[in-house]
Structure 1
Amino acid sequence: MDTIIRHAETPDLHAIGEFFRDPGVTRQTSQIPYRPQAYWHNLFNMDDKNHIQLVAESSGQILGLLGLQIQDNPRRKHCASFAITVHPDAQGQGIGKQLMSAMVELADNWLNLVRIELDVYTDNSRAISLYQGFGFEIEGESKCDAFRDGQLVNSYRMSRIRLPVATPKPEHAQQHKAHPGMTVRAFKPEDTEAVIRLWQQCGLTTPQNNPQRDIDRKVAINDGLFLVGLIENEIVASVMGGYEGHRGWVNYLAVAPQWQQYGLGRTLMEKLENRLAKLGCPKINLQVRSANQQVLAFYQSLGYQTDQVISLGKRLVQESANTPTPRSP
């Protein structure tokens, strides 16, 4: 689909009003049906310099809309909120990704925004996955946040934090804080709840994956490649490795936010690489979302390079984080 991303203009307001009359669009927003056209003219005020409004257009039709509202409070000028809608007929065609990419590029390279935030209904798994692909993390859940389809529904508050880039240190300077003395051992079944909490803290869980089932499947293999890091008997880091006889894999590398920048992730990766090497593993593969520049830089610092390949996948089991895990009687 030949789509262009551009700033909304006054002549677009009629099309935007028609766009929001679609029940599939209204349902995932905070709007209500049957708004008059004047309402949209007022909501999308083109004179508001703090409201950046992007549209995705194809063949003269508005297929998506993203509004980025920069805070005018002097103490929150580094923050912005946004809302995005994609027409149901255009979903799954990359419209949302194009709008998000344009917004993130503006926020990082032109607007110097540190925090971008939004609210999303907890059952909107497609949107949540899209946001997480751009580095957004779930901060909390608002109970009974909105009335929709005749019932109260919950929402997640999500945010993406871009910390200011630090001035590079000389090569001989210390790269990490003093090591806090982490011990590393193989995962035990009794670690399950603590590990899932850690993954949630680090934004590693996604709506389409059930972390409990991921752990159960890994434990069943019992290959000694699922490692956890502890400080004072508290699990603060994890990594789930794998090896099928040809390539090694890395999943669920996590370090608790309060212990990041201490080199714990590096330590875990070294332990995992050593174990894989002893198994005769010739190469390790891993996947990182292309928008997650911080994690990409971390792996590159460990010697990992971008392979010129396209990653393909086929889901054999359809499940979610809310899918109950079967238990033995």
Structure 2
Amino acid sequence: MEVVVRHAEQSDLKAIGELLSHPDVTRNTSQIPYRSQSYWDNMFDINDKNHIQLIAHSGNEVVGHLGLIINQNPRRKHCASFGITVRHNAQGKGVGKQLMTTMVDLADNWLNLTRIELDVYTDNHHAITLYERFGFEVEGESRFDTFQDGKLVNSFRMSRISPDYKSELSHPLPSRIKDQNLTIRNFDIADTESVLNLWQQCNLTVPQNNPKKDIKRKVAINDGLFLVGLINGEIVASVMGGYEGHRGWVNYLAVCPQWQRNGFGRELMADLEKRLIAMDCPKINLQVRTSNQQVIAFYHSLGYKTDRVTSLGKRLID
């Protein structure tokens, strides 16, 4: 996607309001649905010199917005906070990366900012991965921070310290990415209990399915598409792929909660896709509950698209 980043203008406020009002975007902000356009008009003061507002547009469409707010407390003028949103149908296409690149350049080379901070929901994996690529680190977790989708959820406080000052930190944060490599191999029957425990941690088991029987059936096929990921010999991830000669399928993709947001899910999917390509599989299908928006966003970031089909099923064994 060809994207141009520039400062927002008064004429962009309607498009920014529409962007922020989409349900897939609203859920990852502190806003509530059904805001009026006048609300967005009053929220953004285009002429505020301490609130730098960038938009990304592709053609005539606004596909992203980033607001950088410079702190006006005399003792915190070296700090700023920001918020970023990307249009729901433009996520995973480099829009956020371009907005972040522009912001970091402003912060380091023009605004002399030492610290940039933000809050992000702990389940917003795609955003967290983006921020970490630009040097942001998790400083702490706020429990029951926000009411979202009918439940209380946690958020991370993240910050980025200017490279010119990182050497002066007396107590650098331990890396949230554990500097560990994921080892991927085929599932072995001895892995059963570890994998079942992993699935339970990730809430993948449901009453209508018997996971032990699912494993038994898969092992009987022995197609080399049931994979596990290990850290220091411990199973922390899994994926159960399939191929019946027409379409590939993905089930039970799981990463242990404490190891999430480290790219391990992407690694497993990449390995599975390579194996399916070797089998001359033309396309992969998968099913995600419509309520599980963060998982849908994850697959979108891998290049998967929502097919215009109706999913049908018939249970043969209770």
Deviation, 1:203, is 3.5
1:34-113 matches, within 5 Å, as 34-113=34-113
Aligned partner of 1:316 in structure 2 is 271
Are 1:116 and 2:116 an aligned pair?
A: yes
1:240-255 matches, within 5 Å, as none
Residue of 216, 230, 233 corresponding to 2:233? 216
Amino acid in structure 1 at the alignment position of 2:80 = A
Give the whole-Å Cα distance in 2 for the aligned partners of 1:202 and 1:9.
39
Amino acid in structure 2 at the alignment position of 1:214 = I
Check conservation: 2:19, 2:87, Cα contact below 8 A.
Answer: yes
Cα gap change, 1:317 to 1:30, in 2 (>3 Å): farther
Amino acid in structure 2 at the alignment position of 1:10 = Q
SS at match of 2:99: helix
Give the whole-Å Cα distance in 2 for the aligned partners of 1:199 and 1:107.
21
Aligned partner of 1:33 in structure 2 is 33
Amino acid in structure 1 at the alignment position of 2:177 = L
Check conservation: 2:19, 2:86, Cα contact below 8 A.
Answer: no
The alignment covers a number of residue pairs equal to 193
Cα gap change, 1:58 to 1:163, in 2 (>3 Å): closer
Give the whole-Å Cα distance in 2 for the aligned partners of 1:108 and 1:7.
18
Q: Please list the CA deviations of residues 86-132 of structure 1 after superposition, one character each: whole Å capped at 9, or x if unmatched.
A: 11100110000000000000000000100000000000100000000
Give the whole-Å Cα distance in 2 for the aligned partners of 1:136 and 1:127.
11
Give the whole-Å Cα distance in 2 for the aligned partners of 1:121 and 1:92.
18
Amino acid in structure 2 at the alignment position of 1:316 = D
Check conservation: 1:199, 1:205, Cα contact below 8 A.
Answer: no
Q: Please list the CA deviations of residues 131-165 of structure 1 after superposition, one character each: whole Å capped at 9, or x if unmatched.
A: 00000000000000000100000000000001536
Aligned partner of 1:275 in structure 2 is none
Deviation, 1:316, is 2.8
Give the whole-Å Cα distance in 1 for the aligned partners of 2:172 and 2:268.
22
Q: Alpha carbon RMSD of aligned pairs, Å? A: 3.1
Amino acid in structure 2 at the alignment position of 1:315 = A
Cα gap change, 1:49 to 1:10, in 2 (>3 Å): same
Deviation, 1:214, is 2.2
Check conservation: 1:64, 1:84, Cα contact below 8 A.
Answer: yes
Deviation, 1:315, is 3.1
1:60-209 matches, within 5 Å, as 60-164=60-164, 201-205=174-178
SS at match of 1:75: coil
Amino acid in structure 1 at the alignment position of 2:46 = M
Give the whole-Å Cα distance in 2 for the aligned partners of 1:14 and 1:28.
20
SS at match of 1:159: strand
User: Identity over the aligned pairs, expressed in percent?
Assistant: 56
Cα gap change, 1:147 to 1:205, in 2 (>3 Å): farther
TM-score (norm 2): 0.56
TM-score (norm 1): 0.54
Cα gap change, 1:140 to 1:38, in 2 (>3 Å): same
Q: Please list the CA deviations of residues 275-328 of structure 1 after superposition, one character each: whole Å capped at 9, or x if unmatched.
A: xxxxxxxxxxxxxxxxxxxxxxxxxxxxxxxxxxxxx9973379x9xxxxxxxx
Deviation, 1:216, is 2.2
Check conservation: 2:139, 2:173, Cα contact below 8 A.
Answer: no
Q: Which runs of 5+ in 1 are unaligned?
A: 167-197, 219-311, 321-329
Give the whole-Å Cα distance in 1 for the aligned partners of 2:62 and 2:45.
18
Are 1:10 and 2:27 an aligned pair?
A: no
Amino acid in structure 1 at the alignment position of 2:99 = L
Amino acid in structure 2 at the alignment position of 1:32 = I
Deviation, 1:217, is 6.4
